[in-house]
Amino acid sequence: MKKIILIITLISTLQIAHAQSVPNYNIQPNINAWLMYFGDHKISDKWGVHLEAQLRRNQFFSIPQQLLLRTGINYHVNANLFFTAGYCFVQTYPYGTFPVKIAYPENRFWEQVQIKNQMERFEWIHRYRLEHRFSSLPTFDSITGANLIGDAIYTNRVRILNRVSVPFKGKSIVDKSFYITAYDELFTNFGKNIGKNIFDQNRAYIAIGYKLPNVGRLEAGFMQQAILKSDGVKIENNKTFQIGIASNINFYKSKEK
């Protein structure tokens, strides 16, 4: 457990230390807080739905940062492997040291594969996600002098997540058990319209979790997030406190009863 904490701390430190070694970078901190719900619910033996909502706030809970709503269809190959395809809506608000001029929407289509492995007491999750993003970034109208929502700009992004969870007691995470969890997720842009950076962001996360009987998992933790802006110079160094619930209530079994 101490090794996990050490690794996640090292990753977070390296993110910012590497950026600070390049004198042209403009690094600015933010303190954020996210409230999150994730749901993966089976509706048949192989098929299920993904439901997700995230309320993201800046200056802890003071001002809005983002609203994220995501849904999808899951196909379960077996208990440890499933595929998902879906849609996501994100509204980004002016926040932090590098605020956008006005709030703007983003529409995404996404696909992913998630793999789970149990190695002794260690539960490993690997997730590979592809996103197709249509971002209506703000533009300035020189005639009216107003900031307007611009036409949607299309970009692509790959996300790779590796996560490990370990129970405090026992050999696996069971109902009413506490556990520690940590992950690192790398975001990489590709294709046209990505500006001056291929690297988009990195998230390093650590949390304490509790397995809720018949519901899912409740987690409270901390995420170190480094976001490189499209100009290749500005970097957000975000320290984010998170509370999330991940539900796996089985709608299919509920209908059978």
pLDDT tens, residue order, the chain (257 aa): 444 444 444 544 455 555 455 558 899 999 999 999 999 999 999 999 999 999 999 998 999 999 999 999 999 999 999 999 999 999 999 999 899 999 999 999 999 999 999 999 999 999 999 999 999 998 887 788 788 898 999 999 999 999 999 999 999 999 999 999 999 999 999 998 887 778 999 999 999 999 999 999 999 999 999 999 888 889 999 999 999 999 999 988 755 44
What pLDDT is attached to residue 147?
A: 85
Q: Could you tell me how far CA 245 lies from the centroid of its own chain? A: 13
Q: Which residue range forms the structural domain that includes residue 236?
A: 2-256
How far apart, in whole angstroms, are the C-alpha atoms of residue 188 and residue 202? 9
When divided into structural domains, the chain yields a total of 1
Q: Which of 220, 224, 228 is nearest to 245 (CA)?
A: 220
Q: For the domain that residue 164 is a member of, what is the CATH number?
A: 2.40.160
pLDDT reported for residue 8: 45
pTM: 0.87
- 189's tokens: 């842009």
pLDDT value at position 5? 42
Structure token pair of residue 184: 């690192």
- pLDDT for 195 equals 77
Give the CA radius of gyration of the chain: 19
- Token pair 């200056």 is found at 59
